Amino acid sequence: MKKKIYVALSADMLHKGHFNILNKAASLGEITVGLLTDKAIGIYKQIPFLNYSQREVILKNLKMVKNVIPQHTLDYRSNLRKIKPHFVVHGDDWKKGMGILKKTRLQVISELKKWSGKLIEVPYTKNISSSSIKSNIMKLYLQKYNRTSLLSRLIKVKDIVRIIEVHSPLSGLIAEKIQVEEKNQLIGFDGFWSSSLADSLLRGKPDNQSVDLSTRISALNEILDITSKAIIFDGDNGGRIEHLPFTINSMERQGVSAIVIEDKIGLKKNSLFKNQKNIKQDSIKNFCKKIKVAINARKSEDFLIAARIESLILNKGIEDALKRAKAYSRAGADAILIHSKQKNPDEIFKFSKEFKKSEYVKPLIAVPSSYSKTYEKDLIKHGFKIVIYANHPLRASYLSMNNILKSILKNKRSYEGEKYISSISEILKHSFI
Protein backbone atom coordinates (compact mmCIF):
# COMPACT_ATOMS: atom_id res chain seq x y z
CA MET A 1 0.00 0.00 0.00
CA LYS A 2 1.36 3.38 -1.04
CA LYS A 3 2.02 5.94 1.63
CA LYS A 4 -0.28 8.94 1.90
CA ILE A 5 1.31 12.31 1.18
CA TYR A 6 -0.27 15.70 1.87
CA VAL A 7 0.78 18.90 0.12
CA ALA A 8 -0.95 22.24 0.77
CA LEU A 9 -0.84 24.66 -2.15
CA SER A 10 -2.32 27.91 -3.36
CA ALA A 11 -1.28 26.93 -6.91
CA ASP A 12 -2.22 30.28 -8.37
CA MET A 13 0.90 30.50 -10.48
CA LEU A 14 2.53 27.07 -10.74
CA HIS A 15 6.29 27.35 -11.15
CA LYS A 16 9.50 25.34 -10.78
CA GLY A 17 9.41 25.58 -6.99
CA HIS A 18 5.95 23.96 -6.84
CA PHE A 19 7.05 21.13 -9.13
CA ASN A 20 10.14 20.50 -7.00
CA ILE A 21 7.81 20.01 -4.02
CA LEU A 22 5.35 17.85 -5.98
CA ASN A 23 8.11 15.69 -7.47
CA LYS A 24 9.55 15.06 -4.01
CA ALA A 25 6.08 14.21 -2.70
CA ALA A 26 5.42 11.83 -5.63
CA SER A 27 8.64 9.94 -4.85
CA LEU A 28 7.24 9.19 -1.38
CA GLY A 29 3.73 8.02 -2.24
CA GLU A 30 0.27 9.14 -3.41
CA ILE A 31 -0.29 12.89 -3.28
CA THR A 32 -3.37 14.58 -1.92
CA VAL A 33 -3.21 18.32 -2.53
CA GLY A 34 -4.98 20.49 0.01
CA LEU A 35 -5.86 23.36 -2.30
CA LEU A 36 -6.40 26.60 -0.41
CA THR A 37 -9.75 28.18 -1.20
CA ASP A 38 -10.00 31.76 -2.43
CA LYS A 39 -11.17 32.79 1.03
CA ALA A 40 -8.27 31.02 2.76
CA ILE A 41 -5.72 32.72 0.51
CA GLY A 42 -7.45 36.06 1.01
CA ILE A 43 -6.82 35.81 4.75
CA TYR A 44 -3.07 36.27 4.40
CA LYS A 45 -2.59 37.80 0.96
CA GLN A 46 -4.48 39.08 -2.06
CA ILE A 47 -7.02 36.69 -3.53
CA PRO A 48 -5.57 34.64 -6.41
CA PHE A 49 -5.71 35.49 -10.10
CA LEU A 50 -7.29 32.10 -10.80
CA ASN A 51 -10.34 31.06 -8.80
CA TYR A 52 -10.57 27.76 -6.91
CA SER A 53 -12.25 25.82 -9.73
CA GLN A 54 -9.64 26.90 -12.27
CA ARG A 55 -6.76 25.99 -9.97
CA GLU A 56 -8.40 22.65 -9.12
CA VAL A 57 -8.68 21.67 -12.81
CA ILE A 58 -4.98 22.38 -13.37
CA LEU A 59 -3.89 20.26 -10.41
CA LYS A 60 -6.22 17.36 -11.23
CA ASN A 61 -4.62 17.15 -14.66
CA LEU A 62 -1.15 16.62 -13.20
CA LYS A 63 -0.24 12.91 -13.38
CA MET A 64 1.58 13.04 -10.05
CA VAL A 65 -1.51 14.28 -8.14
CA LYS A 66 -3.93 11.60 -6.90
CA ASN A 67 -6.54 13.77 -5.13
CA VAL A 68 -7.39 17.45 -4.72
CA ILE A 69 -9.42 18.58 -1.70
CA PRO A 70 -10.25 22.08 -0.44
CA GLN A 71 -8.27 23.51 2.45
CA HIS A 72 -10.55 26.15 3.94
CA THR A 73 -8.00 27.79 6.28
CA LEU A 74 -4.26 28.31 6.43
CA ASP A 75 -4.38 25.87 9.33
CA TYR A 76 -3.80 22.32 8.01
CA ARG A 77 -5.01 20.40 11.03
CA SER A 78 -8.61 19.71 10.03
CA ASN A 79 -7.53 18.08 6.75
CA LEU A 80 -4.63 16.24 8.37
CA ARG A 81 -6.96 14.60 10.91
CA LYS A 82 -9.18 13.30 8.09
CA ILE A 83 -6.35 11.93 5.93
CA LYS A 84 -3.68 11.05 8.53
CA PRO A 85 -0.87 11.26 5.97
CA HIS A 86 2.46 9.55 6.46
CA PHE A 87 4.21 12.69 5.22
CA VAL A 88 3.46 16.37 4.72
CA VAL A 89 5.72 17.96 2.12
CA HIS A 90 6.41 21.70 2.12
CA GLY A 91 9.11 24.12 1.02
CA ASP A 92 11.55 25.07 3.78
CA ASP A 93 10.93 28.80 3.24
CA TRP A 94 8.26 28.84 5.95
CA LYS A 95 10.98 28.33 8.59
CA LYS A 96 11.94 31.96 8.26
CA GLY A 97 8.77 33.35 6.71
CA MET A 98 6.03 35.42 8.28
CA GLY A 99 5.05 34.71 11.89
CA ILE A 100 1.80 33.15 10.74
CA LEU A 101 3.67 30.61 8.58
CA LYS A 102 5.99 29.66 11.43
CA LYS A 103 2.96 28.98 13.63
CA THR A 104 1.35 26.88 10.91
CA ARG A 105 4.55 24.83 10.58
CA LEU A 106 4.64 24.07 14.32
CA GLN A 107 0.97 23.08 14.24
CA VAL A 108 1.65 20.64 11.39
CA ILE A 109 4.58 19.04 13.24
CA SER A 110 2.54 18.70 16.42
CA GLU A 111 -0.43 17.15 14.62
CA LEU A 112 1.68 14.66 12.65
CA LYS A 113 3.24 13.34 15.87
CA LYS A 114 -0.15 11.94 16.89
CA TRP A 115 0.15 9.14 14.29
CA SER A 116 3.95 9.17 13.78
CA GLY A 117 3.73 11.21 10.59
CA LYS A 118 6.65 13.32 9.44
CA LEU A 119 7.22 16.71 7.84
CA ILE A 120 9.49 16.70 4.79
CA GLU A 121 10.85 20.12 3.79
CA VAL A 122 12.13 20.76 0.29
CA PRO A 123 14.87 23.41 -0.13
CA TYR A 124 13.49 26.72 -1.33
CA THR A 125 13.86 27.33 -5.07
CA LYS A 126 15.80 30.58 -5.31
CA ASN A 127 14.82 33.55 -7.44
CA ILE A 128 11.29 32.40 -8.18
CA SER A 129 7.94 32.82 -6.42
CA SER A 130 4.29 33.36 -7.20
CA SER A 131 4.62 36.86 -5.78
CA SER A 132 7.46 37.75 -8.14
CA ILE A 133 5.53 36.36 -11.11
CA LYS A 134 2.51 38.46 -10.14
CA SER A 135 4.76 41.48 -9.74
CA ASN A 136 6.08 41.02 -13.26
CA ILE A 137 2.56 40.72 -14.58
CA MET A 138 1.68 43.95 -12.81
CA LYS A 139 4.67 45.71 -14.37
CA LEU A 140 3.47 44.61 -17.79
CA TYR A 141 0.08 46.23 -17.01
CA LEU A 142 -1.72 42.98 -17.53
CA GLN A 143 -3.18 43.33 -14.06
CA LYS A 144 -5.92 45.71 -15.15
CA TYR A 145 -7.78 42.94 -16.93
CA ASN A 146 -7.90 40.98 -13.72
CA ARG A 147 -8.15 44.01 -11.45
CA THR A 148 -11.59 45.06 -12.63
CA SER A 149 -13.04 41.76 -11.40
CA LEU A 150 -11.29 41.87 -8.01
CA LEU A 151 -14.07 43.56 -6.06
CA SER A 152 -16.83 41.26 -7.30
CA ARG A 153 -14.65 38.28 -6.36
CA LEU A 154 -13.80 39.72 -2.95
CA ILE A 155 -17.49 40.20 -2.15
CA LYS A 156 -18.04 36.47 -2.77
CA VAL A 157 -15.19 35.21 -0.55
CA LYS A 158 -14.82 37.81 2.24
CA ASP A 159 -17.05 38.36 5.27
CA ILE A 160 -16.41 42.06 4.71
CA VAL A 161 -14.28 43.84 2.11
CA ARG A 162 -12.03 46.44 3.77
CA ILE A 163 -11.42 49.55 1.61
CA ILE A 164 -9.10 52.46 2.52
CA GLU A 165 -8.80 55.89 0.92
CA VAL A 166 -5.58 56.52 -0.99
CA HIS A 167 -4.76 59.92 -2.45
CA SER A 168 -1.27 59.51 -3.88
CA PRO A 169 1.08 56.80 -5.14
CA LEU A 170 2.89 56.78 -1.78
CA SER A 171 -0.32 56.36 0.22
CA GLY A 172 -1.27 53.59 -2.22
CA LEU A 173 2.02 51.77 -1.66
CA ILE A 174 1.66 52.00 2.13
CA ALA A 175 -1.92 50.73 2.01
CA GLU A 176 -0.91 47.96 -0.42
CA LYS A 177 1.80 46.56 1.83
CA ILE A 178 0.68 47.20 5.39
CA GLN A 179 -0.55 44.21 7.44
CA VAL A 180 -1.09 43.26 11.07
CA GLU A 181 -1.09 39.76 12.48
CA GLU A 182 -4.12 38.71 14.48
CA LYS A 183 -5.32 35.26 15.61
CA ASN A 184 -3.22 33.35 13.09
CA GLN A 185 -4.32 35.65 10.29
CA LEU A 186 -2.71 38.51 8.44
CA ILE A 187 -5.10 41.46 8.23
CA GLY A 188 -4.72 44.05 5.48
CA PHE A 189 -6.78 46.25 3.19
CA ASP A 190 -8.56 44.60 0.29
CA GLY A 191 -8.78 47.67 -1.89
CA PHE A 192 -8.70 51.43 -2.24
CA TRP A 193 -11.13 54.33 -2.34
CA SER A 194 -10.44 57.10 -4.83
CA SER A 195 -12.08 60.01 -3.02
CA SER A 196 -13.31 63.20 -4.66
CA LEU A 197 -12.85 64.92 -1.27
CA ALA A 198 -9.18 63.92 -1.16
CA ASP A 199 -8.61 64.83 -4.81
CA SER A 200 -10.07 68.29 -4.18
CA LEU A 201 -8.31 69.05 -0.88
CA LEU A 202 -4.93 67.93 -2.21
CA ARG A 203 -5.27 70.68 -4.80
CA GLY A 204 -6.44 73.27 -2.30
CA LYS A 205 -9.94 73.32 -3.76
CA PRO A 206 -13.37 72.87 -2.16
CA ASP A 207 -15.14 69.52 -2.36
CA ASN A 208 -17.71 70.65 -4.94
CA GLN A 209 -16.52 68.94 -8.14
CA SER A 210 -14.12 71.80 -8.83
CA VAL A 211 -11.54 69.21 -9.91
CA ASP A 212 -12.48 67.88 -13.34
CA LEU A 213 -12.66 64.20 -14.23
CA SER A 214 -9.57 64.27 -16.47
CA THR A 215 -7.43 65.58 -13.62
CA ARG A 216 -8.78 62.93 -11.27
CA ILE A 217 -8.16 60.13 -13.79
CA SER A 218 -4.60 61.34 -14.36
CA ALA A 219 -3.91 61.20 -10.62
CA LEU A 220 -5.62 57.84 -10.36
CA ASN A 221 -3.40 56.38 -13.09
CA GLU A 222 -0.32 57.10 -11.00
CA ILE A 223 -1.79 54.97 -8.20
CA LEU A 224 -2.95 52.24 -10.56
CA ASP A 225 0.53 51.97 -12.08
CA ILE A 226 2.20 50.86 -8.87
CA THR A 227 -0.51 49.02 -6.93
CA SER A 228 -2.55 45.89 -7.60
CA LYS A 229 -5.62 45.94 -5.37
CA ALA A 230 -9.24 46.72 -6.22
CA ILE A 231 -10.17 50.38 -6.56
CA ILE A 232 -13.58 51.96 -6.01
CA PHE A 233 -14.00 55.36 -7.64
CA ASP A 234 -16.00 58.11 -5.96
CA GLY A 235 -18.08 59.32 -8.88
CA ASP A 236 -20.05 62.00 -6.96
CA ASN A 237 -23.41 62.30 -8.75
CA GLY A 238 -22.03 60.99 -12.04
CA GLY A 239 -22.24 64.39 -13.75
CA ARG A 240 -24.51 64.94 -16.74
CA ILE A 241 -26.25 61.75 -17.75
CA GLU A 242 -25.06 62.23 -21.35
CA HIS A 243 -21.43 62.15 -20.17
CA LEU A 244 -21.80 59.18 -17.82
CA PRO A 245 -21.03 56.46 -20.43
CA PHE A 246 -17.66 58.09 -21.12
CA THR A 247 -16.89 58.14 -17.39
CA ILE A 248 -17.79 54.45 -17.06
CA ASN A 249 -15.67 53.55 -20.09
CA SER A 250 -12.68 55.48 -18.70
CA MET A 251 -12.92 53.78 -15.32
CA GLU A 252 -13.31 50.30 -16.73
CA ARG A 253 -10.50 50.80 -19.23
CA GLN A 254 -8.08 51.72 -16.42
CA GLY A 255 -8.90 48.65 -14.34
CA VAL A 256 -11.12 50.32 -11.73
CA SER A 257 -13.40 47.78 -10.01
CA ALA A 258 -16.43 49.93 -9.20
CA ILE A 259 -17.90 53.42 -9.27
CA VAL A 260 -20.16 54.91 -6.61
CA ILE A 261 -22.77 57.39 -7.84
CA GLU A 262 -24.81 59.43 -5.33
CA ASP A 263 -28.39 60.55 -5.77
CA LYS A 264 -27.82 64.25 -5.00
CA ILE A 265 -28.16 66.85 -7.74
CA GLY A 266 -26.86 70.36 -8.27
CA LEU A 267 -23.56 71.76 -7.01
CA LYS A 268 -21.90 69.17 -4.83
CA LYS A 269 -21.58 69.75 -1.10
CA ASN A 270 -19.88 67.27 1.20
CA SER A 271 -22.44 65.07 2.94
CA LEU A 272 -20.87 65.48 6.38
CA PHE A 273 -21.29 69.27 6.44
CA LYS A 274 -23.85 70.21 9.05
CA ASN A 275 -25.80 72.55 6.81
CA GLN A 276 -27.51 70.60 4.01
CA LYS A 277 -30.40 73.06 3.48
CA ASN A 278 -29.77 73.81 -0.18
CA ILE A 279 -28.91 70.26 -1.18
CA LYS A 280 -31.44 68.49 -3.38
CA GLN A 281 -31.95 64.83 -4.03
CA ASP A 282 -32.62 63.45 -7.48
CA SER A 283 -36.00 61.92 -8.23
CA ILE A 284 -36.14 58.14 -8.01
CA LYS A 285 -37.20 57.92 -11.65
CA ASN A 286 -34.32 60.04 -12.93
CA PHE A 287 -31.67 58.36 -10.78
CA CYS A 288 -32.87 54.93 -11.89
CA LYS A 289 -32.43 56.14 -15.46
CA LYS A 290 -28.86 57.18 -14.56
CA ILE A 291 -28.16 53.73 -13.13
CA LYS A 292 -29.44 52.07 -16.29
CA VAL A 293 -27.27 54.31 -18.47
CA ALA A 294 -24.23 53.32 -16.39
CA ILE A 295 -25.13 49.62 -16.54
CA ASN A 296 -25.58 49.72 -20.31
CA ALA A 297 -22.28 51.56 -20.79
CA ARG A 298 -20.05 49.02 -19.04
CA LYS A 299 -18.34 46.29 -21.00
CA SER A 300 -18.27 43.70 -18.22
CA GLU A 301 -20.56 42.83 -15.32
CA ASP A 302 -17.41 42.56 -13.20
CA PHE A 303 -17.31 46.37 -13.18
CA LEU A 304 -19.77 47.28 -10.42
CA ILE A 305 -22.18 50.20 -10.24
CA ALA A 306 -22.96 51.22 -6.66
CA ALA A 307 -25.81 53.60 -5.81
CA ARG A 308 -25.25 55.94 -2.88
CA ILE A 309 -28.39 57.04 -1.03
CA GLU A 310 -28.41 60.42 0.72
CA SER A 311 -31.86 60.19 2.33
CA LEU A 312 -30.52 59.83 5.89
CA ILE A 313 -28.06 62.70 5.36
CA LEU A 314 -30.94 64.93 4.23
CA ASN A 315 -33.19 63.83 7.14
CA LYS A 316 -35.76 62.23 4.85
CA GLY A 317 -35.95 59.13 6.98
CA ILE A 318 -35.47 55.39 6.63
CA GLU A 319 -38.66 54.80 4.64
CA ASP A 320 -37.47 57.11 1.87
CA ALA A 321 -34.06 55.43 1.92
CA LEU A 322 -35.65 51.98 1.66
CA LYS A 323 -37.93 53.05 -1.18
CA ARG A 324 -34.90 54.31 -3.09
CA ALA A 325 -32.75 51.28 -2.29
CA LYS A 326 -35.39 48.92 -3.66
CA ALA A 327 -35.91 51.03 -6.80
CA TYR A 328 -32.16 51.39 -7.44
CA SER A 329 -31.69 47.66 -6.97
CA ARG A 330 -34.48 46.90 -9.46
CA ALA A 331 -32.83 49.32 -11.91
CA GLY A 332 -29.67 47.19 -11.79
CA ALA A 333 -27.38 48.74 -9.16
CA ASP A 334 -24.86 46.12 -8.01
CA ALA A 335 -24.51 47.52 -4.49
CA ILE A 336 -26.10 50.09 -2.20
CA LEU A 337 -24.13 52.62 -0.14
CA ILE A 338 -26.28 53.98 2.67
CA HIS A 339 -24.73 57.14 4.10
CA SER A 340 -25.25 58.61 7.57
CA LYS A 341 -23.79 61.46 9.63
CA GLN A 342 -25.02 60.14 12.98
CA LYS A 343 -22.49 59.37 15.70
CA ASN A 344 -23.90 55.86 16.11
CA PRO A 345 -24.91 53.25 13.51
CA ASP A 346 -28.48 52.74 14.73
CA GLU A 347 -30.20 54.16 11.67
CA ILE A 348 -28.07 52.29 9.12
CA PHE A 349 -28.59 49.07 11.08
CA LYS A 350 -32.34 49.66 11.09
CA PHE A 351 -32.13 50.32 7.34
CA SER A 352 -30.17 47.11 6.71
CA LYS A 353 -32.62 45.04 8.75
CA GLU A 354 -35.53 46.19 6.61
CA PHE A 355 -33.62 46.12 3.33
CA LYS A 356 -32.68 42.44 3.85
CA LYS A 357 -36.40 41.66 3.60
CA SER A 358 -36.48 43.15 0.09
CA GLU A 359 -36.86 41.07 -3.04
CA TYR A 360 -33.86 42.82 -4.56
CA VAL A 361 -31.18 42.48 -1.89
CA LYS A 362 -27.77 43.82 -2.97
CA PRO A 363 -24.47 44.10 -1.07
CA LEU A 364 -24.48 46.99 1.38
CA ILE A 365 -21.64 49.49 1.77
CA ALA A 366 -20.90 51.40 4.99
CA VAL A 367 -18.77 54.54 5.34
CA PRO A 368 -18.25 54.89 9.12
CA SER A 369 -16.62 58.34 9.12
CA SER A 370 -19.15 59.64 11.69
CA TYR A 371 -19.92 56.42 13.59
CA SER A 372 -16.24 55.50 13.95
CA LYS A 373 -16.72 53.50 17.18
CA THR A 374 -18.51 50.79 15.20
CA TYR A 375 -16.56 47.54 14.81
CA GLU A 376 -16.39 45.66 11.53
CA LYS A 377 -17.86 42.58 13.24
CA ASP A 378 -21.03 44.57 13.94
CA LEU A 379 -21.24 45.72 10.31
CA ILE A 380 -20.94 42.07 9.24
CA LYS A 381 -23.64 41.05 11.72
CA HIS A 382 -26.02 43.60 10.19
CA GLY A 383 -25.42 42.50 6.62
CA PHE A 384 -22.81 44.97 5.36
CA LYS A 385 -20.39 43.55 2.81
CA ILE A 386 -18.05 46.51 2.19
CA VAL A 387 -16.63 49.09 4.59
CA ILE A 388 -14.93 52.21 3.24
CA TYR A 389 -12.55 54.21 5.44
CA ALA A 390 -13.02 57.22 3.23
CA ASN A 391 -10.52 59.89 4.30
CA HIS A 392 -8.30 58.71 7.13
CA PRO A 393 -4.85 58.72 5.44
CA LEU A 394 -5.49 62.24 4.16
CA ARG A 395 -6.60 63.46 7.60
CA ALA A 396 -3.58 61.78 9.22
CA SER A 397 -1.17 63.49 6.83
CA TYR A 398 -2.83 66.88 7.46
CA LEU A 399 -2.40 66.51 11.22
CA SER A 400 1.22 65.37 10.94
CA MET A 401 2.14 68.21 8.59
CA ASN A 402 0.59 70.76 10.93
CA ASN A 403 2.45 69.34 13.92
CA ILE A 404 5.89 69.24 12.30
CA LEU A 405 5.59 72.72 10.79
CA LYS A 406 4.50 74.25 14.10
CA SER A 407 7.35 72.47 15.86
CA ILE A 408 9.95 73.85 13.43
CA LEU A 409 8.61 77.38 13.82
CA LYS A 410 8.49 77.13 17.59
CA ASN A 411 11.90 75.51 18.13
CA LYS A 412 13.80 77.08 15.22
CA ARG A 413 15.03 73.60 14.28
CA SER A 414 13.53 70.27 13.26
CA TYR A 415 14.83 67.98 16.03
CA GLU A 416 11.82 68.34 18.38
CA GLY A 417 9.44 67.48 15.57
CA GLU A 418 11.09 64.16 14.72
CA LYS A 419 8.44 62.37 16.80
CA TYR A 420 5.79 63.48 14.30
CA ILE A 421 7.50 62.12 11.20
CA SER A 422 8.92 58.91 9.75
CA SER A 423 12.57 58.41 8.98
CA ILE A 424 13.71 58.59 5.36
CA SER A 425 14.61 54.87 5.48
CA GLU A 426 11.10 53.98 6.66
CA ILE A 427 9.56 55.87 3.74
CA LEU A 428 11.92 54.20 1.26
CA LYS A 429 10.70 50.80 2.48
CA HIS A 430 7.33 51.61 0.97
CA SER A 431 8.65 52.49 -2.44
CA PHE A 432 10.18 50.52 -5.27
CA ILE A 433 13.45 52.44 -4.92
| Catalytic residue status for 225 | no
β-strand pairing of 258-262 with 230-234: parallel
Q: Are 157 and 39 in contact (CB under 8 A)?
A: yes
How far is Cα 17 from Cα 13, in angstroms, rounded to an integer? Answer: 10
Phi, psi of 163, rounded to the nearest 5 degrees: -115, 135
Distances (CA, A) of 118 to 22, 80, 335: 16, 12, 48
Question: What is the rounded (10 degree) CA torsion for 148, 223, 380, 146?
Answer: 20
How far is Cα 2 from Cα 26, in angstroms, rounded to an integer? Answer: 10
Q: Are 75 and 36 in contact (CB under 8 A)?
A: no
Catalytic residue among 199, 207, 263, 302: 207
Q: Number of C-alpha atoms within 13 angstroms, CB side, residue 242?
A: 0
Phi, psi of 107, rounded to the nearest 5 degrees: -65, -40
- Enumerate the β-bridge partners of residue 120: 89
Count the neighbouring beta carbons within 10 Å of the beta carbon of residue 193.
Answer: 28
Mention every residue, 6+ apart, whose C-beta is less than 8 A from residue 83. Answer: 4, 6, 32
Mention every residue, 6+ apart, whose C-beta is less than 8 A from residue 394. Answer: 165, 167, 171, 195, 197, 198, 201, 202
Radius of gyration from C-alpha coordinates of the chain: 24
Q: Number of C-alpha atoms within 13 angstroms, CB side, residue 236?
A: 25
β-strand pairing of 335-338 with 264-265: unpaired
Which positions are catalytic?
207
